[in-house]
């Protein structure tokens, strides 16, 4: 083996070659059949092995209200404004309208003003009369 390596190291070869870029071969000239593909895949199965996976199905729901939801809430609140303004017992009014939170005047005023200054549209501002 060493003798052959020494002999080969002293040898030189001359050769010529031609390259043809893939772009110059029209796709229509190459025909690959399903059988050829299947044969190739079967001969090289180890290249196509995959680890077992899991199939996951899920459903997503938007947390944002629809336009109809927003309009319904706006109409409901608009209808409650005169009744709320006329009522003298705020806690009773809130309980009768399904509020689960105890009324705190300072907190509510702050939140309404804060929210309206940040992101309420003109319609909400006119309802709450926040300047």
pLDDT at residue 131 in the model: 42
Low-confidence ranges of the chain (pLDDT < 50): 108, 116, 118, 125, 129-131
Residues 124 and 131: their CA atoms lie apart, in Å, by 11
Q: CB of 82 within 8 A of CB of 93?
A: no
Domains of the chain, residue spans: 67-128
pLDDT at residue 130 in the model: 44
pTM of model > 0.95: no
pLDDT at residue 41 in the model: 93
pLDDT at residue 34 in the model: 95
pLDDT at residue 10 in the model: 67
* Alpha helical stretches, state H, 1-131: 2-9, 34-43, 67-86, 90-96, 105-119, 122-128
Q: CB of 93 within 8 A of CB of 81?
A: no
């Amino acid at each position: 083996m060493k003798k052959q390596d020494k002999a080969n190291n002293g040898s030189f070869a001359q050769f010529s070659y031609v390259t043809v870029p893939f772009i110059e071969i029209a796709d229509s000239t190459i025909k690959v059949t399903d059988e050829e593909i299947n044969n190739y895949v079967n001969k090289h199965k180890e290249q196509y092995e995959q680890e077992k996976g899991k199939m996951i199905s899920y459903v997503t729901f938007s947390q944002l209200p629809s336009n109809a939801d927003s309009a319904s809430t706006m109409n409901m609140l608009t209808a409650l404004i005169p009744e709320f303004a006329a009522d003298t017992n705020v806690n009773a009014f809130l309980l009768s309208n399904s509020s689960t939170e105890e009324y705190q005047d300072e907190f509510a005023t702050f939140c309404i003003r804060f929210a309206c200054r940040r992101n309420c549209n003109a319609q909400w501002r006119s309802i709450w009369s926040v300047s």
